[in-house]
Amino acid sequence: MNTADLGLPVDVPSTALFTDQYELTMLQAALKAGTAERRSVFEVFTRRLPEGRRYGVVAGTGRVLDAVENFRFDAGVLGFLREREIVDETTLDWLAGYRFTGDVLGYPEGEVYFPGSPIMRVEGSFAECVLLETVILSILNHDSAIAAAASRMSSAAGTRPLIEMGARRTHELSAVAAARAAYVGGFATTSDLAAGFRYGIPTVGTSAHAFTLLHDTERDAFRAQVDALGRGTTLLVDTYDVAEAVRTAVEVAGPELGAVRIDSGDLLLVAHRVRQQLDELGATDTKIVVTSDLDEYAIASLAAAPVDAYGVGTQLVTGSGHPTASMVYKLVARAESDDPRAPLVPVAKKSSGGKTSIGGRKWAARRLDEDGVAEAEVVGTGPVPAELAGRQLQVELIRGGEVLAREPLDVVRDRHIAVRAGLPLSATQLSRGEPVLPTEYVQVPSGN
């Protein structure tokens, strides 16, 4: 199914309050100081990948575009700010007419990134750019963390499809975003109907243990499900005795039974026993789906098992131990004055504790070896070397406030799979290791 993010309304009237209070108090102070209109460049990047991860995955870009378009201070929002005395009337007047009119460049959604990669660049006046910091980071940090976990899981699963089923393990709105990010990372379907409605992701689902327990016998439950959903349904076989349930399932549905689901026990052992039993009963085409607290390591351990699909919940929607991508949004350049022609000056934070940043508007390119495999992430300021001109990673997302780059999710998902395939083979190893590509900085002015 080839569906686009259609820019449907978000679940609140405006995204303007998806922000921290200090974004607005900085705006008020900058307006009073006369610096609010200085042309500025902010960049999103991470200083490090989560421990043991070999690459990150850019996800949430389409949601960022929606959020920027919906970043509006309507009467209700302004009334709240006025009642709480968050900012003064001058600032409220400015906010009433807020529309982002700047430019956004970034890595296309589904791309991979590494420490220091300029994942997104936001340019415009200080005032209009600083307000977007929190909502952009909120989306990218969450979605990229989920997509990275999904990518590791889909790599471990190989050609076997993955079902996202974590809605009950996270916030109801986060669940929709998580399903979208999981699809970007390689999952095939979701159990969450809101995600299917909002983003067109294929949805699946049949029954839980409660349905079996509702009926007087397991046979009655299976018969009711088959009568309602057809022989191609998936029957849950571990409520009582697995072997007896498999026998009953085939008796009820016949060899045309679509699949059985196993949700507990030693999945490796049980899957082998169930496969043998299904084959002996003539249900050679019946698939086996496994669930039960899977992560990428459990999926990899089942590679030799006769499993046809995996359902993943908790570990996926929590980023498999890393629920954030630790991205930051930093001012890297600003004009010397509010004159539109004023030159940009690189700026950077200098502090101890590893929180330094590198000033200047940056480009990024990926250098390939002679076999076409990625070998380095090159980040620089100034002119792009001729040999890297055709390997630049950033694309225009918004120009002059107008969105340019909405894409169907299937395109994004395919991009990620292709990009991941172009990394060194060690990228998909689940053992702990350093980022699979080094980040090289070039043409960075000294002292910045």
* Arithmetic mean of pLDDT, 399-407: 96
Query: Strand pairing of 287-290 and 259-262?
Result: parallel
CATH topology identical between 21-146+322-442 and 162-317: no
Torsion of CA 404, 410, 412, 416, to 10 degrees: -170
Instruction: Give the pLDDT band of residue 13 (cuts 50, 70, 90).
Output: low
Q: Which residues of 235-262 are buried (b: 16+ CB within 10 A; e: fewer)?
A: bbbbbeebeebbbbbbebbeeebbbbbb
pTM: 0.93
pLDDT per residue as tens digits for the range 251-261: 999 999 999 99
User: How far, in Å, CA of 308 to CA of 287, rounded?
Assistant: 6
pLDDT per residue as tens digits for the range 58-81: 999 999 999 999 999 999 999 999
Q: Token digits for 25?
A: 């108090």
pLDDT of residue 354: 67
Greatest alpha-carbon pair distance for the chain in Å reads 80
For CA atoms 396, 397, 398, 404, the dihedral sign is: positive
> What are residue 164's phi and psi, to 5 degrees?
-85, 125
Pick the CATH number of 162-317 from 3.30.70.380, 3.20.20.70, 3.40.50.300, 3.40.50.12640: 3.20.20.70
User: Any idea where the domains of the chain sit in the sequence?
Assistant: 21-146+322-442, 162-317
Among 39, 170, 4, 101, which Cα is nearest to 403's?
101
Which residues, listed in sequence order, are joined to residue 123 by a DSSP beta bridge?
41, 103
Residue 448 has pLDDT above 50, yes or no: no
User: How far, in Å, CA of 365 to CA of 59, rounded?
Assistant: 19
Residue identified by tokens 């007419």 is: 97
Domain 21-146+322-442: CATH superfamily is: nicotinate phosphoribosyltransferase (3.20.140.10)
Long-range CB contacts for residues 70-74, cutoff 8 Å, separation at least 24: 70/9, 70/10, 70/14, 70/15, 71/14, 71/15, 71/16, 71/98, 71/100, 71/131, 71/132, 71/135, 72/14, 72/15, 72/16, 72/98, 72/99, 73/14, 73/16, 73/98, 74/13, 74/14, 74/16
Please report how many Cα atoms fall inside a 13 Å half-sphere around the Cα of residue 208, on the Cβ side: 4
User: How far, in Å, CA of 146 to CA of 179, rounded?
Assistant: 9
Residue 4 has pLDDT above 50, yes or no: no
Percent of the chain with pLDDT over 90: 90
HEC assignment per residue over 264-289: CCCHHHHHHHHHHHHHHCCCCCCEEE
Instruction: Give the pLDDT band of residue 379 (cuts 50, 70, 90).
Output: very high
Q: Are 343 and 335 in contact (CB under 8 A)?
A: yes
Q: Are 346 and 359 in contact (CB under 8 A)?
A: yes
Residue 3 has pLDDT above 50, yes or no: no
Q: Token digits for 130?
A: 């600083």
Residue 134 has pLDDT above 50, yes or no: yes
pLDDT per residue as tens digits for the range 268-317: 999 999 999 999 999 999 999 999 999 999 999 999 999 999 999 999 99
Q: Are 117 and 81 in contact (CB under 8 A)?
A: no
